[in-house]
Amino acid sequence: MSQPEPSSPYLSGNFAPILMECDAHDLPVLGELPRALRGTLYRNGPNPQYAPRDAHYHWFIGDGMVHAFHIEDGRVRYRNRWVRTNKFQREQAAGHALFGSWGNPATTDPSVLGQNDGVANTNILWHGGRLLALEEADLPIELDSESLATRGDVDYGGKLDGAMTAHPKIDPVTGEMVFFAYSADGPFTPGMRYGVVDRDGRMQRLERFEAPFPSMVHDFMVTQNHVLFPILPLTGSMERAMRGEPAYAWEPKLGSHIGIMPRSGGAAQIRWFRGEACYVFHVMNAWESGSRIIADVMQYDTAPLFNPDANGARARLCRWTFDMAGKSDRFTREYLDDMPGEFPRFDERFSTLPYRHGYFAFRQHESSGRGSYDGLAHIDLHSGKRVTHVLPEGDAVSEPVFVPRAADSAEGDGWLLATVYRGAEARSDLAVYEAGALADGPVATVPLSHRVPFGFHGNWLGAD
């Protein structure tokens, strides 16, 4: 590294990058890995290659690094690789950072002004025969599922000419991947894009519409017949960025706007519902019940991270209900659980459909610090019962990923996989839990000799 990292909470502890790519061919296993667990857990997250140019570095903009844990016959092998984006390759050739935060021209080297600065650091999933590294401001990037080598941008035969969300939804009935993008007409613009890719990886639909205002729209909802676009008052502004102010800011007076579009229709049929200001980074699931649409989300009363007045804002699992048969443009909100948490997951064989079991990460010890979680929760949405597992103080856990025991297993019958940072040892484990017995702790842990830095999202690709 050509320069030392600046002082930043997002460049210290387990937020700090690891500066190597490595392979471990046969990791030790404590406990016993289920023999039926066969496949690969992929995780993605920020891992800056070089010290950032901006004094106020943000976690969201680090170069993407993918971590892969391949499990088979009770054994585990591990590999990590940076995603070779345009930004990564240009900076690697230069030997130092070239791009400013959020594409800010005021802090970008003139040699790369106007070039793609995507980092592919947010999510990773398999669809249409491709392993895709995703970030919401750019095209998907395909990786080799074994070597993690970067194969290049995916534009679906030239049909996708811009960004795609980091949170597409896979319809378990049709196999389609449904996606959206915000700032579709350039940074901090209100244009939105909606698209559908069929199960074989062919673009079927792509259209554009206008949101009420430019908003950071990190996630969205899909049911069997509808798509929901949450336009919430965390707004983007190039004018602010050029003045040296935060590009994103909390403007609660704008309220919340939820656009609902029929999947069989188009943008002209979007119906807008309105509510009080709130913010949502992540959605659990959404489905239909008669004339109602129901969505379970992790709702903040005020936007964290970008709002200096957030005062430690926490998300809680909240149910939004929309009456499509009614004439009102309002929707109802009901908290389902009082435990603050984030990174909601569920058995995604039930995506877009009614479901019962949900999982999320939460923070038990305030000493764990901002952006980290030290507990996992399982909530039974029929009974309301919550079961938890809490790590020792100083440790931290990632988003839990559900893996079904078999393709035809009952909902919730399977395992939760997560990486665990061991604070006292400055290294990480892979932890495997029985999803229905979370309180018992992991049935197996797989120790690494290095850290897996705090990241965002991951997914499982079964061996079959």
Interior/surface letters 308-337, b for 16+ CB within 10 angstroms, e for the rest: eebeebbbbbbbbebeeeeeeeebeeeeeb
**What is each CA distance from 372 to 102, 160, 363, 368, 430, in whole angstroms?**
23, 35, 7, 6, 16
Is 367's pLDDT higher than 90?
Answer: no
Q: Is the C-alpha dihedral spanning 80, 83, 87, 92 positive or negative? A: positive
Residue type, 19: L
| Sheet with 123-127: strands ordered across | 123-127, 130-134, 141-143, 150-153
Work out the pLDDT band at 42, boundaries 50, 70, 90: very high
Query: 3-state class of 217 per DSSP?
Result: coil
| Model confidence at 305: pLDDT above 90 | no
Q: Please answer whether residues 233 and 255 qualify as being in contact, where contact means their C-beta atoms are separated by less than 8 angstroms.
A: yes
Of 210, 309, 303, 217, nearest to 261 by C-alpha is: 210
Write the pLDDT tens digit of every residue in 207-251: 999 999 999 999 999 999 999 999 999 999 988 878 878 788 999
User: What are the extents of the domains in the chain?
Assistant: 38-61+70-75+83-372
Q: What is the mean pLDDT of residues 411-426?
A: 97
Spatial contact of 360 and 370, defined as CB atoms under 8 Å apart = no
Mean residue pLDDT across the chain: 94
CA atoms within 13 A on the CB side of 264: 2
**Which tens digit of pLDDT belongs to each residue from 104-131?**
788 899 999 989 999 999 999 999 999 9
Q: With 60 as the cut, is the pLDDT of residue 48 above it?
A: yes
121 touches 42 (CB < 8 A): no
Size (the chain), residues:
464
pLDDT above 90 (res 413): yes
E-state strands within 10-118 = 23-24, 30-31, 39-46, 64-72, 75-82
Query: pLDDT class for 101, splitting at 50, 70, 90?
Result: confident
Residue 103, pLDDT score:
74
